[in-house]
Amino acid sequence: MAGVFSLGIATLDYVYSVETMPTRGEKYRSRDLAVVGGGCAGNAAVAIARLGGQSWLATRLADDRVGDEIVAELADEGVNTRFALRAVGLRSPVSAILVDAAGERMVVSYSDPAMPESAEWLPKTLPDGAKAVLADTRWGEGAIAALRLARQAGIPGLLDGDRRPPHPDLVATASHVAFSAQALREVSGEEDPRLGLARVGQGAATWLAVTLGKEGVLFIENGEVAHLPAFAVETVDTLGAGDVWHGAFALALAEEQDERSAIRFASAAAAIKCTRFGGRAGAPTRGEVMRFLIETGPG
């Protein structure tokens, strides 16, 4: 069984279903509510476990009730949490999220600014069975340490570039980087994602991509910008879809799938998640993804 060592943020999310996004300071009624774990790395780690991979998560939490809930849910999902830091006297990350009738979301999150930045407590070697590393951009020192471990082990190191990388060496240290459209604009200075990816990819040894939601994925292949379309589904909730994509993509790399196959596998997992309300609660199992791919035919 291939495994992925993930590092980054894990949160407790309060996800409210609303007809439309609020535009004024008044009271609104939610149609549904899900209280579920979240965060880029937390969601990805759960997605990996549901897809049949071994899953470890290194994350920074506090020694509070919220941290207890986050760890307990991750453990229930099959994620190994022995690398979760529990900082004394601080507050664990939480988010309030609104999801409208079109499946789009608005996120208000809190992370304790006093959370320690040092990565000295992280393991010096990866756990047995880890065949890929996944890091998000929420903790620069931790991300660079994790990606260096991947380099030392000679395995893929994927950076979830959903925000501008906070450490100058992150992109070069990763073997694979998948940007969000916003992060790519910030890094490249280009509005057009094709131009932005081509600019960032000039002379880069790192494999680069940008995820564009329903527009699919652009990636560098043989020095050119290539495209794979997204799967068409009826969208209910996009919350966590990108995180599920990154988790599935990292697992596919750990299983030694080529990048095109890994993109298709990850895009199928993210598409299924988008059809379900509740953030990462909608992350699919391996069987669901394989059935989905069979039903949609060769890509």
Q: Give the pLDDT of residue 65.
A: 97
Q: Is the pTM of this model over 0.85?
A: yes
Listed by start position, the domains of the chain span 3-10+40-93+119-296
Q: Could you count the other beta carbons within 10 Å of the beta carbon of residue 185?
A: 17
Classify residue 166 by its DSSP letter: S
What DSSP character marks residue 92? -
Q: Which whole number is the average pLDDT over 218-225? A: 96
Q: Quick check: 297 pLDDT over 80?
A: no
Q: How confident is the model at residue 104 (pLDDT cuts 50, 70, 90)?
A: confident
Long-range contacts of 228-233 (CB under 8 A, 24+ apart): 228/260, 228/263, 228/264, 228/267, 228/299, 230/267, 230/270, 230/271, 231/267, 231/268, 231/271, 231/292, 231/296, 233/271, 233/272, 233/274, 233/275
User: Tens of pLDDT along 235-261?
Assistant: 999 999 999 999 999 999 999 999 999
Residue 299: pLDDT band by 50, 70, 90 thresholds? Answer: low
Q: Which CATH class is domain 3-10+40-93+119-296?
A: alpha beta
User: CA-CA distance, 98 to 260, in Å (whole number)?
Assistant: 33
What's the chain's average pLDDT?
A: 96
pLDDT for 298 beyond 80 = no
pLDDT digits (tens, 9 = 90+) for 259-288: 999 999 999 999 999 999 998 999 999 999
Pairing of strands 217-221, 207-211: antiparallel
**What share of the chain in percent tops pLDDT 70?**
99
Give me the pLDDT at residue 205, please: 92
Which carries the bigger pLDDT value, residue 6 or residue 296?
6
The residue-averaged pLDDT of 69-82 equals 98
> Any idea how long the chain is?
299
Dist CA 50 CA 39 (whole Å): 16
CA gap 288, 298 in Å, rounded: 16
Q: Pick the range with the lowest mean pLDDT from 3-7, 99-103, 150-154.
A: 99-103
Look at residue 1 in the predicted model and tell me its pLDDT. Answer: 83
